[in-house]
Amino acid sequence: MLPVASACLAKISRLFDLDCQPAQVAVALGRLGEARPGLRLPGSVDTFEQGVRAILGQLVSVAMAARLTAKVARRYGETLPDAPDYVCFPGPETLALADPLALKALGMPRRRAEALIHLAQATLVGKLALTAPTDIEQSVKHLQTFPGIGRWTANYFALRGWQAKDIFLPDDYLIKQRFAGMTAAQIRQYAERWKPWRSYALLHIWYTHGWQPSMDSEIAGIQ
């Protein structure tokens, strides 16, 4: 294990957000974070896999996204010799060569299948950052130049794949429910109060059933 120990520890740290400073986050979030103090960002150990999951999560329920991901893993992944019930998630070198019609047959639109293949190809040539870039905002814009990746997908990938600390998703279905009656611009403005920890605010809002924002005059004037 020694040759890979440092890499494994770094992945574990990203997966569980071990570098988080809960006290600093709590100050920024105020009452929003009181119900779940110390809540951390769920990361990932494989950035490319998280990109695949972000694409498969477009416009479907969490349960459906999980089923699609499992189908992709079973179709293209490799089983472990000593644990045949477990499957290694397919890497970009495998999905880059996938047939879009074969992916479509798993239950996704062809455009989404083509987006997965392009993501894999981009990863192989270094166009997808596998570690958190210095300029998250510009990198999110770059992701949106990929076929089949819009604003929600790019930001969700940044949240989970890069574990970006200051991401908010005004276009997310559940967020729009929580901010009922508000425009995307109003939601973005409202979330400014939680900078630079908007990702944590996003999680708290997701997990807090019945949470509602307080509309103030500053927000009301934004269309």
pLDDT digits (tens, 9 = 90+) for 33-68: 999 999 999 999 999 999 999 999 999 999 999 999
182: its two tokens: 């508000």
Pairing mode of beta strands 78-80, 83-88:
antiparallel
User: What pLDDT is recorded for position 216?
Assistant: 67
In whole angstroms, how far apart are CA 129 and each of 10, 134, 139, 150? Answer: 16, 10, 8, 17
Do residues 63 and 94 share a domain? Answer: yes
DSSP state of 211: -
User: What pLDDT is recorded for position 2?
Assistant: 80
Distance (Å, whole) CA 25 – CA 54: 25
Number of independent structural domains in the chain? 2
User: What pLDDT is recorded for position 1?
Assistant: 74
Judged against a pLDDT cut of 90, whether residue 214 lies above it is answered with no
Q: Using 50, 70 and 90 to split pLDDT, how confident is the model at 4?
A: confident
Phi, psi torsion values for 195, nearest 5 degrees: -65, 145
| DSSP β-bridge partners for residue 10 | none
Domain span at residue 174? 7-42+167-207
Do residues 179 and 151 share a domain? Answer: no
> Which of 136, 162, 188 is the last residue in one of the domains?
162
Judged against a pLDDT cut of 60, whether residue 146 lies above it is answered with yes
Among 17, 171, 172, 216, the active-site one is: 172
Q: Using 50, 70 and 90 to split pLDDT, how confident is the model at 217?
A: low
- Does 222 reside within a domain? no
User: What pLDDT is recorded for position 39?
Assistant: 96
Predicted confidence (pLDDT) per residue in 100-136, tens digit: 999 999 999 999 999 999 999 999 999 999 999 999 9
Do residues 21 and 107 share a domain? Answer: no
172 is catalytic: yes
Do residues 54 and 133 share a domain? Answer: yes
Do residues 110 and 139 share a domain? Answer: yes
User: What pLDDT is recorded for position 80?
Assistant: 87
Task: Tell me the average pLDDT of the chain.
Answer: 94
Answer for the pair 168, 137: CB distance below 8 angstroms, yes or no: no
**pTM for the complete prediction?**
0.91
- Does 216 reside within a domain? no
Judged against a pLDDT cut of 90, whether residue 218 lies above it is answered with no
Q: Using 50, 70 and 90 to split pLDDT, how confident is the model at 221?
A: low
Do residues 12 and 38 share a domain? Answer: yes
